[in-house]
Amino acid sequence: MISKNKTLSDLGETGIIRLIQGKSPHELPSYVKKGIDDDCAVLETASNRVLLVTTDTLIEGIHFTGRTISAEALGWKALAVNISDIAAMGGAQQTAFLSIALRPDSQASFLESFMAGFNALAGKTGVVLAGGDTVESPSFAAITITLLGDCLPEHVVYRSGARAGDDVWVTGPLGNAAAGLFLLQNKEAGAPSEYDALVRAHQKPMPLFKLGRALAEGGLVHAMIDISDGISKDLGHVCEQSGVGAVLEAASIPLSSDLSRLAAEMGKNPLDWALHGGEDYALLFTASPADKAKIESLTAKLSGSPATRVGAIVREDGISLVYHEGKVPLEPCGYLHFSKPRE
C-alpha cells in the first residue's frame, strides 16, 4: 500500500492522481476514449462525435486572493482556464456547470461581479451556463467549473502524439501572467501602470479557442497542451505521455518587451517567469517541420502574432535547455499542488 503513513504532501499532486487511478477500474468502457491524463476526458457519443469534459477548481488562498484579483476578473478567469483546456484538445466549448462555495457573510455584490466577468467571456465564446451547485463554506471560497466541449473523434489532439523530429511551438509571449502576479504581490513596491498588460495577463487571460480548434481541424499538430503550470512542467506532460524527450532553445522562448524590462528593473531572470511561471494559457504543440509555414500563417491569423518554434522533440527522455554556452537539464518547476513548502 503506497499510502501507508504518508501525507498528501508526501505523495504530491502526481502521486495523488496515481492513487486515484490505481483505485479505479483498469478497463474503461469503450466510449471513454481518454480518462485521466490529458487536458480533457474524451467520451464518444452516439452520433459519432466525442464530448470533451474538463473541470477546474480555484481555491481562495491557493489560486487567488482578494488582493490580486477582482471578483469580476475571477469570474472571467475561472471560465477561461476551462475553455483553454477544451482548446488544447481541439474542441469547441459549449456548456458550463458552475459550483461555488462561499462564506454566508460574503457580499452579494461579489457574486454579481463574479457573474459579470463569467458572462462577459461566456458571451464572447458561446458558452452556456447549464447548472451547478451553490454551497456554504465555513472559510475559504472555492469555485469549480466543469465545461463540456464538442469535437469530431479524428480531430481530438492528445498530449500523447508527439514524435521524435517534431518541432515544438508555443503561442507567446510566455511569462507575462507570472510577472503580473509578481507585480500584484509586491504592490507596496509600486506597480506602475506601464505594466498593465502584465497584470491583465494574470487576471484576465484570453483562451485561444479559435486557434486550438483550427490547428486540430487542419490536422497540423501531433500533440497539444495549454500552458497552465509553466512550459517546464507542461512540456514534461507531453513528453511523458508521448514517450519522448525535448530540446528547448533558451534564446527562442518568446518574451514581451514589458517582461524583459520589468525583469531588468527587478534584477530577475525573465526566463524563470517564462519557463516556470504558468497561467499563461498559451498553447504548446508539436508538429512536423514540413508544416512550419502553414503554422506560422494560421497562428498569425488567429492569435494576432505567429507562434514561435522553441525547440524539437527528441527520442531520448528528459527536457534539456540549450544556451549559447551549452545545455542543462530542465526540471519541472511549475506550480506543484501538495508539494511541501521549500526549506
Q: Which residues contact Mg ion (rule: CB under 5 A)? A: 39, 85, 226, 228
In this complex, which beta carbon is closest to Mg ion, that of residue 175 or of residue 270?
A: 175
In this complex, which beta carbon is closest to Mg ion, that of residue 160 or of residue 260?
A: 160
According to DSSP, residue 331 is labeled: -
Q: Which 3 state secondary structure label does DSSP give 2? A: coil
Helices 108-125 and 71-89: crossing angle in degrees, nearest 10, is: 30
Asked if the peptide bond before residue 104 counts as cis, ω within 30 degrees of 0, the response is: no
CA distances from 81 to 305, 309, 338 (A): 21, 24, 20
In this complex, which beta carbon is closest to Mg ion, that of residue 227 or of residue 255?
A: 227
Q: How far, in whole angstroms, is CA 114 from its chain's centroid? A: 21
CB-based closest residue to Mg ion: 39
In this complex, which beta carbon is closest to Mg ion, that of residue 156 or of residue 191?
A: 156
Angle at 228 between CA 101 and CA 318, to 5 degrees: 135
According to DSSP, residue 206 is labeled: -
Residue 208 Cβ, how far from Mg ion at the closest point, in Å?
12
Residue 134 Cβ, how far from Mg ion at the closest point, in Å?
26
Residue 231 Cβ, how far from Mg ion at the closest point, in Å?
12
In angstroms, the CA 44 to CA 29 distance is: 10
In this complex, which beta carbon is closest to Mg ion, that of residue 39 or of residue 280?
A: 39
135 residue type, one letter: V
According to DSSP, residue 159 is labeled: G
Residue 84 Cβ, how far from Mg ion at the closest point, in Å?
7
Residue 28 Cβ, how far from Mg ion at the closest point, in Å?
20
